[in-house]
Chain A
Amino acid sequence: MDALNAIVALANFVLVPAIAYGSQLALGALGVTLIYGILRFSNFAHGDTMAFGTMVTVLATWGLQAMGVSLGPLPTALLALPVGILGCMALVLVTDRAVYRFYRAQKAKPVILVIVSIGVMFIMNGLVRFIIGPGDQRFADGERFIVSARTFKDMTGLEEGLAIKTTQGITVITAVIVVALLFWFLNRTRSGKSMRAYSDNEDLALLSGINPDRVVMITWLIVAALATVAGVLYGLDKSFKPFTYFQLLLPIFASAIVGGLGNPIGAIAGGFVIAFSEVTITYAWKKVLGYALPESLEPEGLVQLLSTDYKFAVSFVILLIVLLFRPTGLFRGKAV
């Protein structure tokens, strides 16, 4: 039994990856939940919105790299991020003007808007593949690790190493900053409060003189920024591939729904619930248990509950359990 090594192994293989992944999911789910709260539909094009913003960032990163610009130990993509956000904002505003506005004026049923968003998903997906291709793109540069496993072992003398990738550190720090900014905006500024008012009670918001077009525009801008940041962080941490971003739709939706659709705090909580469940259930616990348990009880197998390919199943099962027992989500979202 070796508690210290067990904790380090747990942190290295479960906690750190799950926190990073959870932050990425939370940012994605915030975008979904804001669209749901304000525009009142589930946006199936969100994964591809993330992909588009990330693609612009990747292209800008390559441009900067070609010019020899770098951030030293940090990835160049952070410099390119504003370009990606602006590109994504332009895309969603054009989409809203050309597509969604018409259906808003018609007061179309939410399910019609969902189908419309499927059309938008196709177009964005085609656009991204057309411009950057369907393949895997790596664009992370700079220092790879904040703490590498070897350094950690040398420092502590422990058997187990703890590695923290730069991208993981950046993910968490960026996510904290972005979320803090978002909540400051929603709770402290007039525009942010008007968004919440519009989400809470549309008719009364109109009566109070809140301009719906402005609220919708601000929402899209925020969503574009969130989507791009989430996409770039995910891409830095793993890699950028259009199809993967489309597939992220499922865990992102699961996060938003588990937390309570329309509720920003719920989206964040949901993101971490899904991320931790996915990682813990698909992680092979042999190593951690080997340290944590007395020798006689040491497990023989991998002690992996499910193979990693079933991670979608994890999101899904949690989603289903929450929907069956608490349909409005953990943090009471809106049930329209």
Chain B
Amino acid sequence: MSETMKKTALFALVAGLIVFTGLFQSWNTALLILNMGLISAIMSLGVNLQWGFAGLFNVGVMGFVALGGLATVLVAMPPVGEAWAAGGARVLAGLATGAALLVAVVLLRRAMRPGRARALVTLVVLVGGFFVYRAVFDPGVEAVEAVNPAGTGYLGGLGLPVLLAWPVGGLLAAGAAWIIGKAALGLRSDYLAIATLGIAEIILAVLKNEDWLSRGVKNVNGLPRPLPYEIDLQNDPGFVETVQGFGLDPVTSSSLAVKLGYAGLFSVVLLVILLAAQLALNSPWGRMMRAIRDNETAAEAMGKDVTRRHLQVFILGSAVCGIAGAMMTTLDGQLVPTSYQPLRFTFLIWVMVIVGGSGNNFGAVLGGFLIWFLWVQVEPMGYWLMQMITAPLAEDSALKAHLLGSAAHMRLFTMGLLLLLVLRFSPRGLIPER
């Protein structure tokens, strides 16, 4: 079977699975899977940029996705004027103090000679500066969070169109990636892994605790949408007339129409990123990236600035994850910091890349769709399987109840098994790198 044939067949298979879901479960579920599949495919492309192109082991995907989510809030939510008046200036001043402190430390370290004196001065400035920063910052935060805590209690956003949040999410993630990359790239691969794992947890901790910024665990609900609400469609006589012309129920079709709209938007983004990634892969830049991945020492000896290239690709990949994160939060219509789990948002993306085929953009996209489909569908399948297994047991058996209740956890097990099987028997993935 030729390469293209195999690719087409695999993509047709995934499309078939989604259509099958539509026919036999519901089109609503099918479109939900499609939309999250599109987003997963983009995240998977981002990780593939880092791992497949450059061999960078980033397990902080969750953090960048969450930053994208934060971007949605910061861009699209209306500003809370009262909160700004109460403490906005002070919060900004606090942040500026913090930034100035860091700059001062860097300048000091540059001006002084290495040695005990420099270490001592750094420490004193950092600790002293920290208290100054907190003294400026804390009252501002308190004032902001005191403003109608049940409704707002945060500064809000800029009130701009939500679609703008997608590139901004990418920028935010890119900024974070730049800082992390400066510090942690150049470390050995498993150190980088631990470092990124840590960064992701810290970003999450910020989202959960800095109420003035993201309302923390109180969540931000009612994010503006790029598409009309279902209820508006149902009240739109033109829409109702059109769908009834097709013999469809307006309530169902309004929901389908909105989902289709998202699918269209997401597809455009995916296609653009896929195209860019494909061009990058085949450009001199991409070739150099792979050369560095395959033999870092040789590439360095040939005068390639390995750290700089790594930083570039790390930022790009993280930015892609940030964009996907913003898209996902837009789709959800709310930011729920507690919903970010590393297994789901970091390691599952890794399963997508490895299963799909690291180093191949189409593989990553396929992996995104396929694994997301399985992630959603393994749960009902597991439940069904458990029902079959437990059928002989008595209706009131405790074991039966436990097994049925635990069926949901089979998805983690399945994902792990799938990852191990692919690694063992087809280590280069379903669509291997050429």
Contacts and interface: CB of A to CB of B under 8 A. Distances in A.
Interface of A: 41-42, 44, 99, 102, 110-112, 114-116, 118-127, 129-131, 133-134, 243, 246-247, 249-250, 253-254, 257, 301, 305, 307, 309-310, 312-313, 315-316, 319-320, 323-324, 327, 335-336
B198 interface: yes
B202 to A, nearest CB: 5
A118 B350 contact: yes
Given A130-B406, A320-B195, 10 more contacts: A111-B57, A111-B189, A112-B423, A115-B419, A120-B416, A125-B343, A126-B410, A129-B406, A253-B197, A309-B205
B417 A310 contact: no
Contacts of B205: 309-310, 312-313
Interface residues of B, number: 45
B201 A123 contact: no
B319 to A, nearest CB: 22
A164 B412 CA distance: 39
Nearest to B341: A243
Given A310-B209, A316-B195, A320-B195, A126 B423 contact: no
Contacts of A121: 347, 416
A112 B419 CA distance: 12
Nearest to A111: B189
Interface of B: 55, 57, 130, 138, 183-184, 187-191, 193-195, 197-199, 201-202, 205, 208-209, 341-343, 347, 350-351, 354, 405-406, 409-417, 419-420, 423-424, 427
Nearest to B406: A130
B110 to A, nearest CB: 16
Given A114-B57, A120-B420, A129 B189 contact: no
A134 B410 CA distance: 12
Contacts of A315: 198
Summarize A's interface: helix, strand, loop or mixed: helix
B187 A122 contact: no
A123 B417 contact: yes
A218 to B, nearest CB: 23
Contact of A309 (B184, B208, B415, B416): B208
Contacts of B184: 320, 323
A310 B206 CA distance: 8
A222 B337 CA distance: 38
Nearest to B180: A320
A134 B343 CA distance: 14
Contacts of A310: 202, 205, 209
B193 A249 contact: no
Contacts of B420: 99, 116, 119-120, 123
Contacts, number: 131
B194 A319 contact: yes
A327 B193 contact: no
11 contacts: A110-B190, A114-B189, A114-B190, A118-B350, A122-B412, A123-B420, A250-B198, A312-B205, A313-B205, A315-B198, A327-B187
A119 B189 contact: no
A305 B187 contact: no
Contacts of B423: 112, 115-116, 119
Nearest to A313: B202
A245 B57 CA distance: 22
Contact of B190 (A42, A102, A131, A320): A42
B130 A305 contact: yes
B189 A122 contact: no
Contacts of B417: 119, 122-123
B347 A320 contact: no
Nearest to B415: A122
Contacts of A253: 194, 197
A323 B354 contact: no
Contact of A316 (B138, B199, B342, B424): B199
B416 A119 contact: yes
Contacts of A42: 190, 193-194
Contacts of B208: 309
Q: Which 5 A-B pairs have the closest CB atoms?
A: A122-B416, A126-B413, A126-B412, A316-B198, A123-B416
B405 to A, nearest CB: 8
A254 to B, nearest CB: 7
